[in-house]
């Protein structure tokens, strides 16, 4: 399976490295040349997805993935149009973005975010680009919650009591939700 990680980490390439460990044919795309320098063992292309086309042929990938990229782009339509172009027919697009409804108190702390999404707005923007079988769900970035689903209910109950700018990672990720959108070309 061939996967493209758009915005693969501004230097770190963490998820791209994990995709490679899973024996996926993994490629990254990032605006920062530092990504290539720090990860010379990974396949990373430099591209400003706001204005440049993804430097791969049409129908090249089975999966296009991005985590926390779409909100940093002035031109989200270009990312989605290009993702559609490089996906094979039946290919999967996975987009993760901070959820406005759970992070509205802190989302403006990141001055590089220029767009904010709710479940409805992410669904709408994906549907405007000819994707099918669109699903948008909330997602907690806590692996133990993925394994033991009942813990999600504890997070929901605890959320009103967790300060907005808490620095303890477990508490922060209990409070802050991500959106995960998936769809098919």
Q: Are strands 132-139 and 178-184 parallel, antiparallel or unpaired?
A: antiparallel
Domain range summary for the chain, segments of one domain joined by +: 48-140+178-184
- With tokens 């990312």, the residue in question is 79
Residues 6+ apart with CB under 8 A from 95: 66, 69, 70, 122, 126, 179, 180, 181, 182
Domain 48-140+178-184, CATH among 3.40.50.150, 3.10.450.50, 3.30.450.20, 3.30.920.30: 3.40.50.150
Q: Answer yes or no: pTM beyond 0.95.
A: no
Beta-carbon contacts of residue 57 (< 8 Å; ≥ 6 apart): 86
pLDDT by residue for the chain (185 residues), tens digit each?
Answer: 999 999 987 667 889 999 999 999 999 999 988 888 888 888 999 999 999 999 999 999 999 999 999 999 999 999 999 999 999 999 999 999 999 999 999 989 999 999 999 999 999 999 999 999 999 999 999 999 999 999 999 999 999 999 999 999 889 988 999 999 999 99
Residue 72's alpha-carbon distances to 40, 105, 144, 153, in angstroms, are: 25, 18, 28, 30
What pLDDT score was predicted for residue 11? 60
The owner of tokens 């999404």 is: 117
């Amino acid at each position: 399976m061939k996967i493209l990680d758009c915005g693969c980490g501004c230097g770190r390439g963490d998820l791209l490295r994990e995709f490679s460990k899973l024996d996926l044919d993994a490629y990254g795309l990032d605006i920062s040349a530092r990504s290539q320098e720090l990860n010379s063992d990974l396949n990373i292309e430099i591209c400003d997805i706001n204005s440049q086309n993804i430097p791969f042929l049409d129908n090249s990938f089975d999966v296009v993935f991005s985590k926390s990229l779409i909100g940093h782009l002035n031109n989200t339509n270009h990312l989605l149009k290009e993702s559609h172009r490089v996906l094979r027919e039946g290919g999967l697009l996975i987009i993760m973005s901070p959820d406005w409804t759970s992070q509205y108190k802190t989302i403006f702390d990141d001055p590089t975010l220029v767009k904010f999404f709710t479940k409805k707005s992410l669904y709408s923007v994906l549907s405007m680009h000819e994707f099918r079988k669109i699903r948008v769900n909330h997602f907690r970035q806590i692996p133990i919650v993925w394994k033991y689903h009942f813990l999600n209910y504890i997070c929901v109950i605890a959320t009103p009591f967790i300060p907005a700018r808490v620095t303890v990672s477990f508490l922060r990720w209990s409070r802050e939700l991500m959106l995960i959108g998936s769809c098919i070309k």
